[in-house]
Amino acid sequence: MTNNLFFTCGFQREKDWIVASNRERVSSVDKDKMISILNNIELNEGAAGLEFIPEPEVGISELSVQCDGERYLFTLVEYGKDGEFLIRTKSDFNGTPGLVYFEGEPYPACSVIEDFDFIKRVFIELLETGNVSYELMDI
């Protein structure tokens, strides 16, 4: 596994914010530890991410999830071969297209989901392979 992949996770319990992992190098985070930490944001206000530092010129830069206590803003940032900035979201989205509000801001409906098991599955795939298949997250 690439040694420049870092994991971050923080969440809110009552009035306190807890940082469970702060840009921890993935080589020191195994799958079970990452899932255990991720489970803290399920239905709590919080956020988590896996990011490549430094960012690659081509390929995945960052996978991130933010929870408002009920739903998840879930995106993957990638740089294309021609330098284009791509944002990938859940590929099998079957809701109504358009914008939805998350934390008071409009986002494409396909980027706001309720399936936390899907989120964990994508985090595991990126952790284990360094990539996320287009079958899971697409442009």
- 137 within some domain: no
Question: In the prediction, which pLDDT does 58 show?
Answer: 95
- 42 within some domain: yes
- 139 within some domain: no
Both structure tokens of 125: 């795939």
The pTM (predicted TM-score) of the whole model is: 0.91
What total of structural domains would you count in the chain? 1
* Four-CA torsion 139, 101, 50, 19, nearest 10 degrees: 180
Both structure tokens of 40: 């803290």
33 phi and psi, to 5 degrees?
A: -65, -45
Give the C-alpha separation, 130 to 112, whole Å: 23
- 84 within some domain: yes
- 56 within some domain: yes
Q: Which residues of the chain have pLDDT under 70?
A: 1-3, 28
Contact assessment for residue 16 and residue 38, using Cβ atoms and an 8 Å cutoff: no
- 138 within some domain: no
Domain that holds residue 59: 5-132
Which SS3 state, helix, strand or coil, does residue 123 take?
helix
